[in-house]
Amino acid sequence: MTMSYAASPTIHGRIAPRGGEAAAVPGSRRRTGGRGMTTDLDRERLKTVLGQVAAGDRNAMADLYRATSAKLYGVCLRIVRDDAEAEEVLQEVYLTVWKRAASYDPAKASPITWLAAVARNRAIDRLRASGARVVRSSGPIDGALDLADPAPDAESQLGHSEDSRRLKGCLDRLEPDHAGLIRRAFFGGLSYSDLAQAAGRPLGTVKTWIRKGLMNLKVCLES
Amino acid sequence: MRGPAPTHPQDLRAAEYALGVLEGAALAEAEALTRSDAAFADAVETWELRLAVLADYVPEVRPPDRVWEAIRLRLSPLAANDNARWWNSIDVWRGLTAASVAVGAIAIGILAAPNPGAVVQPKPPAAFAAAPWTAVVAAPDGGPKLAAITVDNDLKRIVVTPLALTEEQAKSLELWVVPADGSAPRSLGLVKAGGSTVLANVTLPVDAKGAALAISREPTGGSPTGLPTGPILGVGALAVS
């Protein structure tokens, strides 16, 4: 995937308002009737829907939620590991999307990738704000439960399966230790020091592995 | 897709920042760079999107229906912009009901209609002889009605009649219009608590249809930023009188 560095409003602070906009969403928990969950919107349809959301279309927002909330809730749950917290983060994610859909650039990523980035950043923000960024294992990193590496959805219906396959191929080419650390940092919101402690490795080693992993990932993804 | 991008000299740092592993001085430095160096911020964005594909490894889990319901309730038109945060802290929009509009119209004494039922569904504006718009600003959650306001664009005049406004020392009360399109609130001027305020030579800078008025407490002289900075005391929808 080629990326553009063309001048544009930066996504950081937009996708990832770290600490900046961490106001908690009051938990409005009114119940409502069931609604069907469909995941059959393809990439192009999602782009259209995101455009409508950017224009303030509430029906489009409902479509977007139906199509993507299971994926994003899965991401939130995986990161914050608490149902109630994940529900609140999911609210924040969609309210962020509602406000910032106009900043989505189809030239840079598929809609679901952009949405996943929003979800991940919000969830990590929450994790850090709640002080829950604990190192869960002092043993070898590969033994940690949260390194369990669930298989990607067999057939993603949300339109980034090509990106996903490519990334998976590139991750598979990394040293398993390097890829494992990257995954753990991604889902756990862990700093270098946290990772070193969790992996029982020297800080320098962890830094070297992550950096090598990231650079090899880049080379692979851009090849 | 556009052409291959040149690599930022600090691309590795951008990757570390996007992954979230930086700490201490390196983290502070990267945060500062995202603000001062647009190319660096772009590199961070690129990495965030690259790494986000990792989310595809996570199984889907259907969230409870209450999550969407909570989101739906918060999708005020106001939420569709970045400057709307000021109202997020208090759910002022609950006070925005047809009833409060109707009661307000009566309070102002504009409605001459003998049938109170007519109050609930305001008449559409006449094509000529534009009727004034009215709003009653009420505290959230069914709280007290704070002020009744008429907006007469023809006369370029806004009249604010306090119903339950209170002054605080070293503070001013500021009137805002909250546009229907979700753009940022705009100041209309300062208002008094002790008696009616007439804002002369003021017209609504936005379409009144779907817009609302709000009153916030600001430092003396009004908000220094041009956006509400203090607590929003109340909100009321504009309706044709």
Q: Are residues A93 and A48 in the same domain?
A: yes
Is A89 within the bounds of a domain? yes
Q: Which of residues 168-187 of A touch B (CB under 8 A)?
A: 182-183, 185-187
CB contact under 8 A, A11 and B43: no
Q: Are residues A82 and A167 in the same domain?
A: no
Q: Are residues A118 and A192 in the same domain?
A: no
User: Nearest residue of A to residue B73 by CA position?
Assistant: A28
Which ranges of chain B would DSSP assign to H, the alpha helix?
Answer: 11-19, 24-36, 38-52, 65-74, 85-88, 98-108, 117-120
Distance CA B18, CA B1 (A): 22
CB-based contact, B60 to chain A, within 8 Å = yes
Q: Which of residues 108-167 of B touch A (CB under 8 A)?
A: none
Classified by CATH at the fold level, domain B81-240 comes out as: Immunoglobulin-like (2.60.40)
Please identify, among A132, A165, A186, the residue that sits at the C-terminal boundary of a domain. A132
Distance CA A181, CA A177 (A): 6
Cβ neighbours around A72 below 10 Å, total: 29
List B171's β-bridge partners, or say none: B219
Phi, psi of B153 (to 5 degrees): -70, -30
Helices and strands in chain A, H and E counts: 8, 0
Distance CA B153, CA B27 (A): 52
Instruction: Kindly report, residue by residue over A135-174, the tens digit of the pLDDT.
Output: 443 333 333 334 344 444 434 445 555 777 788 888 889 9
A40-44, long-range: CB < 8 A, 24+ apart: A40/A67, A40/A157, A41/A67, A41/A157, A41/A158, A41/A159, A42/A157, A42/A159, A43/A110, A43/A111, A43/A112, A43/A158, A43/A159, A43/A160, A44/A159
Could you tell me if residue A189 is left (phi over 0), alpha (psi between -120 and 50 degrees) or otherwise beta? left
The pLDDT of residue A119 is above 70: yes
Is A30 within the bounds of a domain? no
Q: Are residues A127 and A205 in the same domain?
A: no
What's this model's pTM, rounded to 2 decimal places? 0.56
Token readout for B184 is 């940022």
Q: Are residues A78 and A124 in the same domain?
A: yes
Q: Are residues A56 and A120 in the same domain?
A: yes
Domain extent for A85: 10-20+36-132
Instruction: Kindly report, residue by residue over A168-207, the tens digit of the pLDDT.
Output: 888 889 999 999 999 999 998 899 999 999 989 999 999 9
Task: Write the DSSP string, B198-218.
Answer: EEET---SS--TT-EEEEEEE
CA max distance for chain B: 75
Contacts of A214 in chain B (CB under 8 A): 12, 15-16, 19, 47
Mutate to test the interface with B, among A2, A11, A12 (most CBs of B within 10 A): A12
Is A111 within the bounds of a domain? yes
- Give the pLDDT score at A103: 87
Q: Are residues A114 and A200 in the same domain?
A: no
Q: Are residues A156 and A110 in the same domain?
A: no
Token readout for B227 is 């956006």
Which CATH number characterizes residue A189's domain?
Answer: 1.10.10.10
Contacts of B62 in chain A (CB under 8 A): 37, 69-70, 73
Which CATH number characterizes residue A124's domain?
Answer: 1.10.1740.10
Token readout for B186 is 């705009």
In this structure, are residues A50 and A64 in contact, taking their beta carbons and an 8 Å threshold?
A: yes
**What is chain A's mean pLDDT, rounded?**
74
Alpha-carbon distance values, B223 to A173, B63, B157, B172, B227 (Å) = 56, 41, 21, 9, 6
Q: Which of residues 129-148 of A touch B (CB under 8 A)?
A: none
Alpha-carbon distance values, B128 to B99, B124, B125, B131, B132 (Å) = 27, 11, 8, 9, 12
**Which residue of A31, A73, A167 is in closest CB contact with B53?**
A167
Mutate to test the interface with B, among A100, A195, A214, A215 (most CBs of B within 10 A): A214
For chain A, percent helix, then strand, then coil, each to nearest 5?
Answer: 60, 0, 40
Q: Are residues A76 and A14 in the same domain?
A: yes
CB-based contact, B39 to chain A, within 8 Å = yes
**Which residue of B34, B55, B182 is in closest CB contact with A12?**
B34
**Which residue of B58, B62, B82 is in closest CB contact with A150?**
B58
Instruction: Kindly report, residue by residue over B145-157, the tens digit of the pLDDT.
Output: 899 898 888 778 8
Contacts of B74 in chain A (CB under 8 A): 25, 28, 91, 95
Q: Are residues A107 and A60 in the same domain?
A: yes
- Give the pLDDT score at A73: 97
Q: Are residues A91 and A169 in the same domain?
A: no
Token readout for A223 is 């090849």
CB-based contact, A117 to chain B, within 8 Å = yes
CB-based contact, A97 to chain B, within 8 Å = no
Q: Are residues A73 and A161 in the same domain?
A: no
CATH 2.60.40 domain extents, chain B:
81-240
Stretch A78-88: mean pLDDT, rounded?
A: 93
Is A50 within the bounds of a domain? yes
Low-confidence ranges of chain B (pLDDT < 50): 1-4, 78-129
Q: Is the ipTM of this complex over 0.95?
A: no
Cβ neighbours around B158 below 10 Å, total: 26
Domain total of chain A: 2
Distance CA A180, CA A199 (A): 10
- Give the pLDDT score at B218: 87
